Amino acid sequence: MTFFREKFQASPIYARVAPYVIFILLTVAQEMFGEAARYWFYLGKTLVGAWLLWEMRPFVSEMRWEVSTEAIAIGVGVCLMWVGIDNLYSHMGADKAPWNPRAQFGEHSSLAMLFIAARVLGSTLVVPPLEEVFFRSFLYRYFVRTDFENMPFNRFHLTSFIVTSAIFGFEHSQWLAGILCGFAFQWLVISKNRLGDAIAAHAITNFLLALWILSQGAWKFW
């Protein structure tokens, strides 16, 4: 049993918080070592994130994907909203260079293809469960009661609903879309009384957004 697995088993909070925090710290670090390094950091953090999901999986029982009609509808709708309102408000970090491996490494280079694949797979398969477990399973419930595991997923708490979604939103440069996205995913958790539909919806949104970025060259969304 690994060090992390022992920690995950010992603490329900650690199992839901530590993987997300590690992923965020790697995200911060990827901006600190130059333009080329950020792509290698993203590849590395995606692999680390996948490993952390594997390690936490036995101890986070709610981390099960559920593909429902509602999850598909919310996933598609959030993607359309994210793109549709983009020009209606100012973004945070708008002066930062967009994440564009084709510009950095060459239009058809192997490295560009590698980093694009890492971004698509990471944003579709790794980011959704890490973020949904932290925000919708842990943080939303922990704001209401510290013994969060005893709070059912279908309980609505207005303050926690707003605060959790706001924190989630300001994690993104497209902060307004992020807040609305947080509302949608949290509503899905509450209405279905489980986390898996929000994980699936989040994955659908990110995958469709990746397709939009690649087809339209809309790198600002990454």
Instruction: Check whether 104 has a pLDDT greater than 80.
Output: yes
> Per-residue pLDDT averaged across 114-136, rounded?
98
Specify if 202 maps to a domain. yes
Specify if 142 maps to a domain. yes
Output the CA torsion sign for 135, 141, 146, 152.
negative
Specify if 48 maps to a domain. no
> Per-residue pLDDT averaged across 57-63, rounded?
96
Specify if 19 maps to a domain. no
Where residue 2 falls among pLDDT bands split at 50, 70, 90? confident
Give the percent of the chain with pLDDT over 70.
99
Instruction: Check whether 192 has a pLDDT greater than 90.
Output: yes
Specify if 26 maps to a domain. no
Q: What is the pLDDT of residue 84?
A: 97
Instruction: Check whether 10 has a pLDDT greater than 80.
Output: yes
> Per-residue pLDDT averaged across 11-35, rounded?
93
Cβ atoms of residues 67 and 200 within 8 Å? yes
Residue with tokens 């477990």: 133
- The gap from C-alpha 64 to its chain's centroid, in whole angstroms, comes to 15
Specify if 10 maps to a domain. no
Q: Which domain holds residue 146?
A: 63-221
Task: Give the count of alpha carbons within 13 A of 140, CB side only.
Answer: 29
What is the rounded CA–CA span in Å between residue 94 and residue 75?
25
- pLDDT, greater one: 126 or 93: 126
Where residue 214 falls among pLDDT bands split at 50, 70, 90? very high
Instruction: Check whether 130 has a pLDDT greater than 60.
Output: yes
The whole model's pTM is what?
0.95
Q: What is the pLDDT of residue 1?
A: 57
Least confident of 35-39, 46-50, 119-123: 35-39
Specify if 35 maps to a domain. no
- What does the DSSP assignment read for the chain? --HHHHHHHH-HHHHHHHHHHHHHHHHHHTTSS-HHHHHHHHHHHHHHHHHHHHHHGGG-TT------HHHHHHHHHHHHHHHHTGGGSPPTTTTSPP--HHHHH-TT-HHHHHHHHHHHHIIIIIHHHHHHIIIIIIIHHHTT-SSGGGS-TT---HHHHHHHHHHHHTTSSSHHHHHHHHHHHHHHHHHHTSSHHHHHHHHHHHHHHHHHHHHHT-GGG-
Instruction: Check whether 222 has a pLDDT greater than 60.
Output: yes
What is the rounded CA–CA span in Å between residue 62 and residue 38?
32
The residues, any chain, with a CB within 8 Å of residue 48's CB and separated by 6 or more, are 22, 23, 26
Give the number of domains in the chain: 1
Q: What is the pLDDT of residue 107?
A: 87
Specify if 14 maps to a domain. no
